[in-house]
Each structure stands twice: as structure tokens, then as C-alpha cells.
Structure 1
Amino acid sequence: MQHVNADNRRPARPGAVLGRLAVPAGVLAAVVGAFAYVGAVDPNEPGHYPACPLLRYTGIYCPGCGGLRSAHAFVHGDFLAALQDNAMAVAGYVLFAVVWTVWVVRAVRGRPLRIDPGPVLLWSAGASLLVFTVVRNLPFGGWLHP
């Protein structure tokens, strides 16, 4: 398979393609390392990670509460437990995988990754996080508690 430069459609040098993949590979290595650590050091065991200050002092679950337990369950293939611990975190894992894959494909093709979410998308994401946070703290939202 020959890679092509975006500028003049000549085949790109293999070294150039590898150079364009260095940053996405570094980001993936960091994420895999973080997931490996959380997979090895169980957040369900006390004393390994600090407690959420919002939960500790107010009893309110923040949008990130249960995120480490979710990542731990995800690493171990327990996707239902990961969703139960923090559904928004699982959505974030999936979103990261999609964006990272698009980034790699564009890098191989010599095109930059441009993420330019419009105001509607940003407000929708913020509203979703807010609704998730409010619902998980209401009596009927107990199924969203970590």
C-alpha cells in the first residue's frame, strides 16, 4: 500500500508517515498506560486513590464519580459494571476511540485533525453532563450511582 502526499499526490516516504503517527501513538501509549494502571490497581480497594472532594464533603456525585471504577471494570471486560459505575465515562472512552481512529487515518493521509465542534454540540454536551449529574443525585436516579 502506497501512501500519498496530500499536496501533490506523490507517494509519501514511509518515514514521513511514521513521523505523522508519532503524536497519535504517544497519546495512545499514555491512555493505555493509564488504563493499565487503573486495571492493575483496583479503585474498589480503599487507600489507592483520593476520594472525590465533592462527594466527600457534600454527598453529591459529580459527573466523574465512579470514573476510575468504570475504567477498572472496562479494562477487565465487565462492560455492564463499567456502565453502572459511570455511563458518561464509558461514552467518553468510546468517543476517544472514534476520535483517535479518525486522527490516525487522517495522519496517514497527511491531513491534519481538525476538531471544531459548533455551539450546538458544545451546549448539548454540557447539558447532557448537567442532566446526568442532576439525575444521578435524585432519588429515582439511584441506578446511576457508582
Structure 2
Amino acid sequence: MASSDHRSPTAVPTLAPGTHRGIVARCAGPAAVAAAAVGALAVLARVDPNAPGHYPTCPFLFLTGLYCPGCGALRALHDLTQLDLAGAWGMNPLLVLVLPALVAAWVGWTVRSARGRPRSLVVPARWINAFLVLVLVYWVARNVPALAPWLAP
């Protein structure tokens, strides 16, 4: 017997938007990112990147002798896990400034996911372009000691 209804009696029903299981399922992405970040920070808190032999050298620094925008980020994150904000700032001030925005974006993603609207936020192109210009200016400035010697890690 042919039928136009393609549903089978064994199909998995979708979770109702307000159910606990529905919220857990929708927040799986943000939870996975949080778990990975907490795990990475736990390792970074215990294994000091200032000690030689634990982490690889920045490939850009190794090949060119110049600092990339991310140079010093591991050491800055390690300092933050030790609650040393001044040390983190000395390693990578851009990371220290951007990190609260990343945490806020993650919180927003989690809230939107819990409410069933995970893709409702669109960042305007001008903000993305402004951030890219900021990163490029930071990249150049940290490699020209006369401009900003305090930017080098």
C-alpha cells in the first residue's frame, strides 16, 4: 500500500521547545565549547608555557623572527589562570581586551540556544572589518619597537 505520508511509527519525535531535554539538546554546542575551553585552560594552568619544551614555538615567529597577533597568547592565558592580569597584559594586551567579548559572545550563544534561536545574531560587516583592521594595526605596531615597545611579548 503506497502512502504519501513518509513518517514511520519508529521515527524519533522532536523535543518540545520547553522541555528540559530540549534545552539540553539545544545547548550541546555551547556546552562542548565550554568543556573544551575549561579542559584547555586546566592544562594551561598546570603546564607553564614559559618553561621550555612544553609547547611549540609560534611558526610565524620561528620563520620570520616577527611577532604575530597571537604571540604571547598562551603565556597570557596561563597568567590569567594564575590571576595575574598585569602579566597577561604584558604578554598579549589584545587577547586581554578581546577575551571578555568572547565570553560575552559565548554567553549570548548559550542563551539563544536555550531559547531555541541559536542563529539569530548577525554581526555587522563593519564590526568585523574594524576588528580585522585593529588586529592588523596591532600586528604591525608590536613589531616596530619605536611605535609601541610595550606590545612585544
Within 5 Å, give how 1:105-124 maps onto structure 2.
Answer: 105-124=111-130
Partner of 1:85: 91
| Structure 1: unaligned runs, 5 residues or longer | 1-9
Which of residues 112, 136, 151 in structure 2 aligns to 1:144? 151
Alignment of 1:1-146 (within 5 A): 12-140=18-146, 141-146=148-153
Which residue of the partner structure matches residue 6 of structure 1? none
Q: TM-score, normalised by structure 1?
A: 0.85
Distance in 1, matches of 2:122 and 2:74, equals: 28
* Higher mean displacement: 72-81 or 108-117: 108-117
Give 1:88 shift: 1.6
Q: What TM-score does the superposition give when structure 2 sets the normalisation length?
A: 0.82
Gaps of 5+ in 2: 1-15
Name the amino acid aligned to 1:139: P
Tell me the matched-pair count.
Answer: 137
SS in 2 for 1:139: coil
Q: What root-mean-square deviation, in Å, do the aligned CA atoms of Structure 1 and Structure 2 show?
A: 1.7
Q: Which residue of 2 aligns with 1:4?
A: none
Identity of aligned residues (%): 41
Structure 1 ranges of 4+ moved more than 4 A: none
**d(CA) in 2 for partners of 1:90, 1:40:** 20
1:113, distance to aligned residue in structure 2 (A): 3.2
Q: Give the equivalent residue in structure 1 for 2:7.
A: none
Which structure shows the bigger proportion of residues in helix conformation? 1
